[in-house]
Amino acid sequence: MTARTVALRDQRALLDLLPPAAPLAWVRRGEGLVAWGVAARLELPAEPERSGIQRFTAADEWLESLFSTIVVDDDVGVPGSGPVVFGSFTFDGRDAGSTLILPRVVVGRRDGQTWLTVVGDEADPLPAVPPPRPVGALRWRPGTLSEAEWCAVVSQAVDRIHTTGLAKVVLARDLVAEADHPIDVRTPLQRLAADYPDCYVYSVVGLTGATPELLLRRTGTRLESLVLAGTAPRGATADDDAVLAKTLLTSAKDVEEHAYAVESLRESLAPFCTELDVPRHPELLRLANVQHLATPVRAVLPAKTATLPVLAALHPTAAVGGTPTRVAMDVIGELEGMRRDRYAGPVGWIDARGDGEWGIALRCAQITGPRARLFAGAGIVADSDPQAELAETVAKFRAVRAALTGR
């Protein structure tokens, strides 16, 4: 195969370029990548173990083989130019569905520079596309567990924390919406991008959302990550917002939850890094609907370190799994009552140089035809209150609900 990258003068919004069929996207503040078409695709089977390390190993081997066969002509030479693969991995290795796609057409934008990559021959790489179609009326129903059932599960998890070596476990729940016709993924994508410009808005094989959590950004040997754990709502007024922020920053429960997530990342990254910078105290990240405790992490990798083994070591973080990881994963499998599929798994892109960006698939829905399955989770620690944790999931559902309904 051949891949040709050229500078592009087209300054339309990236999401406006997407066709309705199977769009791929990774966009923040108007920059990033959008893509469509399939030049190559890998779908990975289920594995016997929850850790699922084999799917990352298989993906890494496939990428190495794929990129070695592509003849690249790249006039731009920045991260995301040349051939790019979009990917999304399942949370649990026992779930099939981890998918990597080499698209035929990619449009990228970084620091105001726009480019076009075409893999193979594409007669019209930028065809005119119809506008996104409204979602229309939706019928909502509970997911795997009702709210009362989920609160009971949270209570069971708190009991486990008090009586076992479990320190924290993240429990998720789902919610289902049905439309009268297939949902145009571009509609919620554009709304999420408008409402949450500081999040990474993504879509890979129908998994569509806006994640605030950057699991890994690789640029050469430099690596960045952003740990988020500990959540509070936004206030109705500036004074209310300030009170909620102060409460979050001084909350023993939320600070404890955040510390577990930071330490989990530190332990996972340390074996790969020659340098690792982890701030001692979290800062505040404010989004439109919630605010989080956040810790930005920076590291340096040895040259020739592959990206996906690092990604595999980072997943699952304590922010989506728990502490200790293996115990928390067992409790999730026992209590949660549902398959997460690709929710809370890594989602993002990687280019032939190994540069890329991977987030955690949060604030999302799996959109398949007329059906959208939404996901949200909360970190459970020793003093968690089930009703407060339920309220946290309701707040997290709000982003995608609004993107689907337009209000």
What is the spatial distance between Cα 229 and Cα 264, in angstroms, rounded to a whole number? 12
At 231, list the tokens: 């959540």
Catalytic, out of 47, 213, 357, 389: 213
User: Of residues 287 and 164, which shows the higher confidence score?
Assistant: 164
Catalytic, out of 43, 49, 168, 389: 168
Q: What angle do CA 278, 281, 285 make, to 5 degrees?
A: 95
DSSP reduced 3-state for 152: helix
213 is catalytic: yes
> Average pLDDT, whole number, for the chain?
94
DSSP reduced 3-state for 215: strand
At 114, list the tokens: 């726009």
Q: Where are the alpha helices (DSSP H) in 234-306?
A: 238-250, 252-269
E strands, 13-146, are 24-28, 31-36, 40-44, 71-74, 84-88, 98-102, 105-110, 113-119, 138-142
Per-residue pLDDT of 2-21, as tens digits, reads: 999 999 998 899 999 999 99
Q: What angle do CA 318, 80, 86 make, to 5 degrees?
A: 55
Kindly list the distances between the CA atom of residue 15 and the CA atoms of 18, 205, 312, in Å, as whole numbers in the listed order.
6, 16, 29
Parallel, antiparallel or unpaired: strands 2-7 and 71-74: parallel
Comparing CA positions, the residue from 86, 98, 88 lying closest to residue 47 is 98
Per-residue pLDDT of 215-257, as tens digits, reads: 999 999 999 999 888 888 889 899 999 999 999 999 998 898 8
Mean pLDDT value of segment 108-125: 92
What are the residue ranges spanned by the domains of the chain? 2-126+139-405
168 is catalytic: yes
Q: How confident is the model at residue 121 (pLDDT cuts 50, 70, 90)?
A: confident
Residue 112 Rama label (left phi>0; alpha psi -120 to 50; beta): left
Q: Output the pLDDT for position 270.
A: 93
Comparing CA positions, the residue from 323, 316, 70, 347 lying closest to residue 206 is 347
Q: What are phi and psi of 366, to 5 degrees?
A: -90, 110
Residue 354 pLDDT greater than 80, yes or no: yes
Residue 51 pLDDT greater than 90, yes or no: no
Q: Output the pLDDT for position 50.
A: 82
Please report how many Cα atoms fall inside a 13 Å half-sphere around the Cα of residue 197, on the Cβ side.
4
Helix axes 386-405, 186-195, angle to 10 degrees: 120
Residue 123 pLDDT greater than 80, yes or no: no
Q: Output the pLDDT for position 37.
A: 96
Q: Output the pLDDT for position 82.
A: 97
Per-residue pLDDT of 315-344, as tens digits, reads: 998 889 999 999 999 999 999 999 999 999
What is the spatial distance between Cα 6 and Cα 179, in angstroms, rounded to a whole number? 40
Q: What is the CATH number of domain 2-126+139-405?
A: 3.60.120.10
pTM of the full structure: 0.94
What is the spatial distance between Cα 385 and Cα 33, in angstroms, rounded to a whole number? 40
Query: Before 324, cis peptide (omega within 30)?
Result: yes
Q: What are phi and psi of 58, to 5 degrees?
A: -65, -40
